[in-house]
Amino acid sequence: MRGVVQGVGYRASCRRQAIELGLSGWVRNRPDGSVEVEAEGEPQRLTELQLWCEKGPEAAQVRSVASATIPPTGEDWFEVRR
């Protein structure tokens, strides 16, 4: 995600949303000011998370979201990485 996405509670909110959707994976801030999310789970739930990511928490101003398909890792938790 690009835009105003760091310092607005994006990672914690994303983690809560992903857990509510039953997804696993992680979210982290990147040095360039963007936020990166890697998630796996049911396709419909992943779409729901992507739609949430396009808005983010209330204070976020998401400018763009890029997505890619990657192989699943089989993890069973969702964490905030630093």
* H or E segment and range at residue 23: none
Identified catalytic residue from 2, 16, 29, 45: 29
The whole-angstrom separation of Cα 69 and Cα 64 is: 17
Active-site annotation holds for 29: yes
Active-site annotation holds for 11: yes
Q: CA separation (Å) from 16 to 7, 8, 61? A: 16, 14, 19
Identified catalytic residue from 11, 15, 30, 82: 11
Catalytic positions: 11, 29
